[in-house]
Amino acid sequence: MPPSVPSTAIVWLRRDLRLADNPALTTALERCERVLPVYIHAPDEEAPWQPGGAARWWLHHSLTALAAELAATGSRLIVAQGESLSTLRRLIEATGAGECHWNRLYEPATIARDTAVKTALRAEGIHCESHNAAMLFEPWTLKTGAGEPYRVFSPYWRRCEPRLAQVPPPCPAPASLPAPPTALESLPIDALELLPRIRWDQGLADTWRPGSAGADTRLRSFLDGAMQQYTQGRELPAEAGTSGLSPHLHWGELGPRQVLAAVRDAVADITAGGAGHFVRELGWREFSMQMLYHFPETPMQPLDPKFADFPWRRDDDDALLTAWQQGRTGIPIVDAGMRQLWHSGWMHNRVRMVVASFLTKNLRLPWQHGARWFWDTLVDADLGSNTQGWQWAAGSGADAAPYFRIFNPVRQGERFDADGAYVRRWCPELEALPNKLVHQPWAARPAELDALGVRLGDDYPAPVVDLKTSREEALAAFEQIKRPA
């Protein structure tokens, strides 16, 4: 009799870079003797939304952390590069694997790729199974009474909240894993060339600790601290009032079921107070992903078709876009946000709304330009949340801010950064300005600025647009698309 071949499963890891609450891994372990954790680098399969520069930095470190965690369980991360289907076939051939498990993704390109892989491998007799690791409620599970996808957040969340009790608890990480065959080759993570050649990433390294241990530390410190005052604290960009979990959630170093379970352990009622507000924000992540799933054209096209004819600015657009990207618009809260983004790969939510409103309304530049810049610079760049955030800010999306509600960045600064601490941190040129001027240095008399040692247009830019005039122009532009054809 031939020696019996151990049954082998491939676990195809993508944006589920963790061992705990990873149903693909757990199911593979339950069903097979040998489990092969594999990461295949195939960014072109996600085109045109392959990971940007900051996201690649994160991925490099997250894979490194995952490889160390797997090694600690006795296993090994197999890293490969190239087309996913042919790479999986090669691994199946090399190991005799009969099963392939993965956790689902929801972007149009990844859905198409995964469907093709599933169809092809099943036709070749491989047992393929996908699982849910990333969502509390997968996008197709909740529809309106009329059977339509939800387009407005409040009724969506009213539907979700009572169902939170039914979300299954997270499954624990396996204590040990069988070792993959030693002969099986794996690329070093460096070979994926994810880190920038010109090293601009020090700010990212100073801010983040990619990997599930870093995610867990952030979660614990949020639950023990900022969560109690989340409702107020989340609006103040100078404070550490939010969880900072977005990149960890995006890369699946931590899953939403784990976050929910941890909140449940921390408070009696997960629908009330700071905890309730925080869980509701997780709901925005779910809502954004279900919008992307049901409206897959929205990363490029406005959800509201009348915005296709919006008269965006045509003159000076490159110079204005560059000023916005570099944090040199002369509007302090905008510049502070854009510099925080460049330095740390993250920006506070309130400030994301302000800079997005400023780009699309005061500068009247297409929201797609802003979404693309965020895509390249955010460590948490996520096609669902980014698309939804930009369409919301531009007024063209579901549940969008009405177009005529144009944020006044000076008022936003005065309200949410009253002592100017956020602006001073990221725009140190304005350090000496008193609070009444720090959000609008142009309002000072020239002699006053002189005395403070600040020359507008030299030390710090003069505003690239007049806030009042650009607001009126934006409203006039909106009138044009409002009229029935």
Pick the catalytic residue from 132, 349, 408, 435: 349
Return d(Cα 52, Cα 428) in angstroms, integer: 28
Among 103, 246, 340, 470, binds ligand FAD (CB under 6 A): 246
Our finding on whether 344 is near ligand FAD (CB under 6 A) is: no
The verdict on whether 324 is a catalytic residue reads no
Our finding on whether 298 is near ligand FAD (CB under 6 A) is: no
Nearest to 221 by CA among 238, 242, 239: 242
Among 78, 79, 194, 249, binds ligand FAD (CB under 6 A): 249
Rounded to the nearest angstrom, the gap between the alpha carbon of residue 259 and the centroid of all alpha carbons in its chain is 16
Our finding on whether 353 is near ligand FAD (CB under 6 A) is: yes
Show the tokens assigned to 360. Answer: 């699309």
Nearer to ligand FAD, 307 or 374 (CB): 374
Phi, psi of 127 (to 5 degrees): -75, 115
The verdict on whether 367 is a catalytic residue reads yes
Among 210, 214, 244, 461, binds ligand FAD (CB under 6 A): 244
User: With contact defined as beta carbons under 8 Å apart, do 477 and 456 qualify?
Assistant: no
Nearest to 221 by CA among 194, 250, 186, 248: 248
Return d(Cα 386, Cα 51) in angstroms, integer: 13
Select from 32-40, 183-191, 306-314, 351-359 the region that touches ligand FAD (CB under 6 A). 351-359
Our finding on whether 243 is near ligand FAD (CB under 6 A) is: yes
User: With contact defined as beta carbons under 8 Å apart, do 9 and 98 qualify?
Assistant: yes
User: With contact defined as beta carbons under 8 Å apart, do 462 and 442 qualify?
Assistant: yes
Among 16, 114, 382, 429, binds ligand FAD (CB under 6 A): 382
Return d(Cα 360, Cα 474) in angstroms, integer: 9
| Subset of 58-117 contacting ligand FAD (CB under 6 A) | none
Binding string, residues 392-411; x marks residues near ligand FAD by CB under 6 A = -x------------------
**How many Cβ atoms are within 10 Å of 133's Cβ, its own excluded?**
26
Phi, psi of 37 (to 5 degrees): -80, 125
Among 16, 21, 114, 380, binds ligand FAD (CB under 6 A): 380
Maximal CA-CA distance, the chain: 96
Give the contacts of 414 (CB within 8 A, at least 6 positions apart). 439
Rounded to the nearest angstrom, the gap between the alpha carbon of residue 468 and the centroid of all alpha carbons in its chain is 32
Select from 53-61, 142-150, 384-392, 464-472 the region that touches ligand FAD (CB under 6 A). 384-392
DSSP bridge partners of 100: 10, 128
Nearer to ligand FAD, 34 or 364 (CB): 364
Helix 273-294, helix 256-266: angle, nearest 10? 160
Pick the catalytic residue from 312, 408, 448, 473: 312
DSSP bridge partners of 39: 13, 79
Count interface residues toward ligand FAD (CB under 6 A).
27
Nearer to ligand FAD, 24 or 378 (CB): 378
Quote the DSSP letter at residue 401. P
Nearer to ligand FAD, 75 or 377 (CB): 377
The verdict on whether 342 is a catalytic residue reads no
Select from 300-308, 316-324, 347-355, 417-425 the region that touches ligand FAD (CB under 6 A). 347-355
The verdict on whether 312 is a catalytic residue reads yes
Return d(Cα 217, Cα 363) in angstroms, integer: 40
Least distance to ligand FAD from the beta carbon of 19, Å? Answer: 21
Our finding on whether 357 is near ligand FAD (CB under 6 A) is: no
Select from 25-33, 147-155, 276-284, 439-447 the region that touches ligand FAD (CB under 6 A). 276-284
Select from 149-157, 278-286, 295-303, 465-473 the region that touches ligand FAD (CB under 6 A). 278-286
Our finding on whether 385 is near ligand FAD (CB under 6 A) is: yes
Least distance to ligand FAD from the beta carbon of 89, Å? Answer: 33
Pick the catalytic residue from 390, 392, 426, 429: 390
Nearer to ligand FAD, 257 or 352 (CB): 352
Least distance to ligand FAD from the beta carbon of 382, Å? Answer: 4
Give the C-alpha distances (Å, rounded to integers) separating 123 from 88, 113, 120, 141.
14, 16, 5, 28
What length is written for the chain?
485
Nearer to ligand FAD, 180 or 397 (CB): 397
Among 35, 38, 105, 378, binds ligand FAD (CB under 6 A): 378
Rounded to the nearest angstrom, the gap between the alpha carbon of residue 163 and the centroid of all alpha carbons in its chain is 24
- The residue whose two tokens read 């608890």 is 169
Among 56, 151, 352, 361, binds ligand FAD (CB under 6 A): 352
Return d(Cα 221, Cα 230) in angstroms, integer: 13
Quote the DSSP letter at residue 365. -
Nearer to ligand FAD, 246 or 368 (CB): 246
User: What residues act catalytically?
Assistant: 281, 284, 312, 349, 367, 390
The contact set with ligand FAD (CB under 6 A) reads 234, 242-246, 249-250, 281-282, 284-285, 288, 349, 352-353, 356, 374, 378, 380-382, 385-386, 389-390, 393
